Structure 1
Amino acid sequence: MMNRSAYESHMNASNIEGSGKASSYLRALDLLGQMILQKPQGFADCNDIWNVTSTDRLEELRLKVVEEQKKGKGSVWNLHDTPKSYLTNGYCSAALRSYQHFLVKHLYEQHLLEEFHQHSGSDSDLAEKLDQKVNIPEYLQLDYRNLEGTDVVQSVTVRRNQNVFRKIILEIYDQSCCITGLNIPTVNRASHIIPWSEDKTNRMNPSNGLCLSATYDAAFDRNLISLDDDYRIILSKEIKEHFDSQSVTEYFLKKEGQPILLPKQYEPDRSLLAHHREKGDF
C-alpha cells in the first residue's frame, strides 16, 4: 500500500482546499478495486490497484471503466454494495487518470533516488546519471493541454529533477539548514551554488547544493553571502555597509566567519563556490 500512501500525500499537497478531490479519488480507486475483486472482467491482476505499477495496464483498465461507465445501470460493476455514482459519474475513470500521472512521476523519482543511493563513482558521474528524462506515454501527454506549445516531457522532467535534487540535498544535510541547524524541512531549501539555468552539467550534482533556510537561501541566491574555501560564511560589502539593523546583526553579521554544518557526503565543490564568490562583492 506504499503507492496509496504516496498518492494520498501527493493529492493532499496539490488539492484545492475544500474541493474534496483527494478523498474522492482515493475512495473511487478503493471502490474500483472492490468491483474488480467481485467481477474481475479480465482485470484480476488489478484488484489491488495500488500495487499495479504499469501505466499501460492501468490505461487498459481505464478504457474498460469508461466503457462500463457508459452502460450506467447495465454495467457489471454496478454492484449492490458499492456506491453507483463513483462509476457512473466518472469518478473512477478520472481517478485512474490522475493516478497514472502520479505514478509516472513517482516511479521516475524513485528510480533516480535509487541511482543516488547505489552510486559509488564520482560526483560528475552521478550528476550525469541523474540527468534523465521522464518517459511519459503518448496517451498521458495529451492531457497536458495547459502546456500546449511547450515540450511536455522536458517541462515535467525539469520539475521532477528539481524535486529529486531537493530530496537528495535535504537527506545529505539531515534535513537541516547548514548555517543555523534548523531542521524543519518545509522552510528549508535545496540551494544550487551555480543556478540550475547556468550550468546543465551540475544541475543534479549534490556537491552543487546547500541546504539553507529560506532567508539564507534568498541571500545566497542574490550573492549577499557566500562561503570561503574552508566553508566559512562570508558577507558581501552590500550587507556590511548598507544594512545596520539589529536583525541584520543577528542573522548575518554574527554569522560571519562561522563554518557551516557539512553534509554526510558530497561536500560543496570548492571550485563552484569560487565561481559563486566571483559573482558577488566580497
Structure 2
Amino acid sequence: MIKNAFTDYIKATNLIGSQKANSYIKALDILGFLIKHEPYGFNDCKNVWKVESVERLCQLYAFVLQQSKKKDNNLWEIEGIAKSYLANGFCSAALKSFMKFLVEFEFEQRLLNNVNEEGIQVPITLKYPRCLLDGIGHAEGRDVVREVNVRTNQNVFRKVILDIYNQSCCITGLNMPEVNRASHIVPWAEDKTIRLDPANGLCLSATYDAAFDKHLISLDDDYRIITSKTINDYYTSNSVNEYFIKKQGMKINLPNAFKPNKSFLEIHRNSCCL
C-alpha cells in the first residue's frame, strides 16, 4: 500500500511523473539491498517500506547522504547499478522524498479520520521533522510547512467531496475522477473556517468547475442550476446551449452526506450576474 501510494505521490508532485517515480522506487529497493548486504546498524531498515518512524529514516538519510558523498569510496563495496545509484545521489534523494511523503500521508490520514458529524475538520497540527528542513532558513521553513499544509488539506477536501458524490459530477453524472474537481462554493481564500467543510463543496467536471468558479453558473436553494446573464445574453452557440442553457432549472445530484450549505450557495449567487 505505502509503496503504491508513494508512487502516486511522486507522479502527482513532479512534472516528469512516472520516470522519476520509477527511479525513486528502484533507488529505495536498492537501498534495502545494500542494507541487507551490510546493515551498519540499520537492520530495522532492510525493508524501507515498512519503516514507520520518520525520525529513524532521518538517521538513515544522514548516513546514506554521507556515503553518497564519498562516491566510489563509500562503505558499501558493491559494484554495478547498486553502487552507481548510491554514488550518484539517487538513494539519498529518493529517501528524502519518501520521508516527505510519509509526513504528508500520515497528516492526511489523521485529517480524514477526524471529520466530525457536522463535516468540519478537527484542527490538527502538521509536524515537519527538522531533518527535512536542513539547509533552509527559518522563514523558508515556515513556508515549506505552510505549503505542505495547504496541499494536504486540499487533497483531503478533494477525497471527501469525491467520496460523498460517488466520484461523479453532480451535474452530468460523469464518474471519471480524473476529470472531476472538488469545487469550493465559498472560495478557499475567502473563509478559512469553512475550507474543509464538505458542505462547502461540489463535485463538478472540469468545464462546470470553471464555469462555477467564474460565477457563470450557480445554484438556487432547491439545488437547481442557474445560468448567468453573461451566458444567456452573450453566448449563442449550440455548444453553450447544450452545456448550459438547457440545464437551467435542472436539479443537481445531491451527495450521500453533507448537502451543499444554502447560506454558502447564497454567498456564491450574490457574486454572480444573474
Provide TM-score, normalisation by structure 1: 0.88
Change in 2 beyond 3 A, CA 1:108/1:143: farther
Q: Is 1:171–2:170 an aligned residue pair?
A: no
- Say if 2:215 and 2:271, in contact at 8 Å, map to a contact too: yes
Q: Give the Å deviation of 1:13.
A: 3.3
Give the whole-Å Cα distance in 1 for the aligned partners of 2:246 and 2:14. Answer: 41
Distance in 2, matches of 1:55 and 1:185, equals: 31
Alignment-mate amino acid for residue 254 of structure 1: K
Q: Deviations over 1:210-250 (max 9, x none)?
A: 00111111111121111111111111222112222111110
Question: Residue by residue, what CA displacement relative to the aligned partner does 1:177-224 show, whole Å, maximum 9, x if unpaired?
Answer: 000001111211111000011111100000000001111111111211
Deviations 1:74-129 (A, max 9, x none): 5442236862112222221121111111211122112212223xx3x323xx23x1
Once the two structures are overlaid, the 10-residue window that deviates more, 93-102 or 63-72, is 63-72
Note the aligned Cα RMSD (angstroms): 2.3
Structure 2: runs of 5 or more not aligned: none
Matched, 1:231 2:223: yes
* Gap runs ≥5 in structure 1: none
Q: Distance in 2 between matches of 1:281 and 1:21?
A: 46
Which residue is equivalent to 2:210? 218
Q: Which moved more, 1:259-268 or 1:96-105?
A: 96-105
Q: Which residue of 2 aligns with 1:190?
A: 182
Distance 2:176 2:136 in 1: 33
Residues 154-180 of structure 1: per-residue CA shift (max 9 Å, x gap): 222112111111111111111110000
Classify 1:18/1:9 alpha carbon distance in 2 versus 1 (closer, same or farther; 3 Å). closer
- The answer on whether the counterparts of 1:236 and 1:281 sit within 8 Å (CA) in structure 2 is yes
Q: Is 2:198–2:258's contact at 8 Å kept on the other side of the alignment? A: yes
Find the aligned partners of 2:262 and 2:153 in 1 and give their Cα distance: 23
Q: Does 1:207 pair with 2:199?
A: yes
State the TM-score, normalized to the length of structure 2: 0.91
Q: How does 1:69-148 map to 2 (within 5 A)?
A: 69-79=68-78, 83-116=82-115, 119=116, 121-123=117-119, 126-127=120-121, 129=122, 131-142=123-134, 148=140
Point out the more displaced range, 208-217 or 100-109.
100-109
Cα distance in 2 between the residues matched to 1:178 and 1:144: 44
